[in-house]
Amino acid sequence: MKKELGLLGIFCVATGAMISSGLFILPGLAFSKAGPAVIVSYIIAGVLCIPTLLSKAELITAMPKAGGDYFYIMRGFGPLLGTVAGFSSWFSLSLKGAFALVGMSAYLSLVTDIPLNIIAVGCCLFFIALNLLGVKEAGRFQVFLVMGLLGILFFYIAWGAKTVNLGNFSPFFSKGLGPVFATASFVFISYGGLTKVAALAEETKDPGKNLPLGMMLSIIVTSIIYTLVIFVTNGVLNPAVLRSTLIPISEGAGALGGGVLRVLISVAAFLAFISTANSGLMTASRYPLGMSRDKLLPSYFQKISAKRKVPYAAILFTGSFMILALLFLKLELLVKIASSILILLYMFAISLLFCLGKARYLVTGQSFSRLSIHISRS
């Protein structure tokens, strides 16, 4: 596969994977659980990502291979846990992409009578086609989406900061401390795409430098965006409205600037959902590729387009699963499953770094039935 992605591309893939439904839909649901202290829940969730980010940066430097979590855990803990990690990563990223498409459909439903599922499936088919064109084309599209998204969100923050009603934050811990921590796990999916960009290591220029730096910049920018946008939205919306809406940022924009700002936020939400779905499909599809190379999945998933140099079989398989998830799974179930899997995988990544240290790995391509792995330490 060609090395087409630079630092900006990695930053935009990671950022786009995070900023979507976790910002444009979840704040209302999270506010109903934690009250004004939902801001703290988002901060806690972001802080919990940092150890995994640092661990993943070390692993990427040692093993810049497609497959992300699966590849590292396979080499460190063996095929059994590697298989669990591979399927779990693929499953959670695919669900996060499907979750983004649900959110995008909710916003589009404001201007069209087309059923939500039809809109979501149509968009998913578009992303499948885009990713089949090549990682360079998908990466450029991602940069365009994320830059536009960040510009609109910073504009919303600047506009709304001067009209925030601090009375909306009192009492701050209205639900108590327990729900704040419980809600942190609920919104953890909002940061879920951060380290999954490691799955694109084989298609990244200088992955040992650009992947860790791109992820670090992404978590910093995204955490700031989440905190400030939720602060403004909480400060300008009536709490009763905030806890009952699935489009809280759009409602906040309507309260601030009427139609014009609301249209801008709707555009931002649309860009966010597109970018998350695109990056979700882009990164998730590399997991079946990596697992197939180790004979844990059929060799069909190793097929690479001779012209476009993309794993088209894995892309088609992942896109098809996302469509099935859209049609048969409910919104809150998508969030809970994906968040739980992400937390488990982050624990694996941190544990792996302690176990391996600076290990050299040997790619042996053993099958699932062979539960040994060769690790030689330097």
pTM of the model: 0.76
User: What sign has the CA pseudo-torsion 129, 132, 136, 138?
Assistant: positive
**CA 89 to CA 128: how far, in whole Å?**
19
Residue with tokens 């330490």: 377
For 165, the 3-state DSSP assignment is: coil
Asked if residues 254 and 264 have their Cβ atoms less than 8 Å apart, the reply is no
Q: Is residue 188 part of a domain?
A: yes
**d(C-alpha 191, C-alpha 181), whole Å:** 16
Number of separate domains in the chain: 1
DSSP string over 178-241: HHHHHHHHHSGGGGTTTGGGGGGGGGBSSHHHHHHHHHHHHHHHHHHHHHHHHHHHHHHS-HHH
What DSSP string runs through 305-361? Answer: -TTT-S-HHHHHHHHHHHHHHHHH--HHHHHHHHHHHHHHHHHHHHHHHHHHSSEEE
Range of the domain at 164: 24-377
Amino acid 331: pLDDT: 60
Instruction: Name the CA dihedral angle for 309, 313, 315, 319, rounded to a multiple of 10 degrees.
Output: 160
Q: Note whether 5 and 204 are within 8 A (CB).
A: yes
Cα–Cα distance measured from residue 268 to residue 148, given in angstroms and rounded to the nearest whole number: 7
Nearest to 310 by CA among 127, 133, 125, 68: 133
pLDDT tens for residues 113-138?
A: 778 788 888 888 998 998 888 777 77
Interacting residues of 346 by C-beta distance below 8 A, sequence separation 6+: 48, 49, 51, 52, 195
- What are the structure tokens assigned to 350, written together? 């941190």
- Residue 319: the pLDDT is 93
- Asked if 58 contacts 208 with a C-beta cutoff of 8 angstroms, the reply is no
Q: What is the pLDDT of residue 43?
A: 92
Provide the residue-wise pLDDT of the chain in tens; the chain has 378 residues: 667 778 888 888 888 888 877 788 888 888 888 888 899 999 998 888 888 788 777 777 777 776 677 777 787 777 888 888 888 888 878 887 887 787 777 767 767 777 878 888 888 899 899 888 877 777 788 888 889 889 999 999 998 888 888 888 888 888 888 889 988 888 877 887 777 777 777 778 888 888 888 889 999 999 999 999 999 988 888 888 888 887 888 888 888 877 788 888 888 888 888 888 888 888 888 888 888 888 888 989 888 887 777 889 999 999 999 998 888 876 666 666 766 776 777 777 777 767 765 444 444 444 333 333 333 333
Supply the pLDDT for residue 338.
66
The answer to whether the CB of 218 falls within 8 A of the CB of 57 is no
Query: How far apart are alpha carbons 83 and 155 in whole angstroms?
Result: 44
- pLDDT tens for 342-372 read 677 777 777 776 776 544 444 444 433 333 3
Q: How far apart (Å, rounded) are the C-alpha atoms in residues 266 and 250?
A: 6
Helix 286-293 to helix 79-108 angle (10° resolution) is 160
pLDDT score of 362: 41
Q: Is the dihedral of CA 34, 196, 346, 368 positive or negative?
A: positive
Residue 13 lies in a domain: no
**Considering just the CA atoms, what is the radius of gyration of the chain in Å?**
20
CA distances from 201 to 6, 101, 236 (A): 11, 25, 42
The residue whose two tokens read 């995994």 is: 52
Q: What is the pLDDT of residue 361?
A: 45
Whether the Cβ atoms of residue 86 and residue 287 lie closer than 8 Å to each other: yes
Q: How confident is the model at residue 357, as a pLDDT?
A: 56
Contact present, 60 and 198 (Cβ < 8 Å): yes
Q: How crowded is the C-beta side of 328, counted as CA atoms within 13 Å?
A: 6
CATH code, 79: 1.20.1740.10
For position 367, what pLDDT does the model report? 39
Does any domain span residue 6? Answer: no
Bridge partners (DSSP) listed for residue 375 = 361
Give the separation between CA 52 and CA 196, rounded to whole angstroms: 11
Q: What are phi and psi of 204, to 5 degrees?
A: -110, 135
DSSP-derived secondary structure letter, 377:
E
Rounded distance, CA 328 to CA 16, Å?
25
